[in-house]
Amino acid sequence: MKWITRKDIKVDRVACPWLIRRFIDADAEFLFVEEAHLGLRAVADGCQAMGLSDEDRLAKQFPMYDALFAYCRKQIK
């Protein structure tokens, strides 16, 4: 399976592929792309600025990631 993440990996983008390869998909292939990371960062920082709990941040941001995932799946096919 192909997985997409931003280029120029750092701690979180090393940890996630590690977890995926170790526990989900040993043959995972990672595509490192430009993706609109500033937009994702703005949403994440905005949720923090709103004082949302970690669980509320997940609830608010998961639909955005679901939409991006659906878009990427459509592009790869």
| Helix and strand totals (H; E) in the chain | 3, 2
Q: Is 53 helix (H, G, I), strand (E, B) or coil?
A: coil
Per-domain boundaries in the chain: 1-35, 36-77
Give 41-60 pLDDT, tens digit per residue.
Answer: 888 899 999 999 999 999 99
To the question of pTM greater than 0.85 for the whole model, the response is no
Helix (H) or strand (E) holding 73: helix 54-76
- Please give the pLDDT value at position 73: 81
Confidence class for position 36, pLDDT limits 50, 70, 90: low
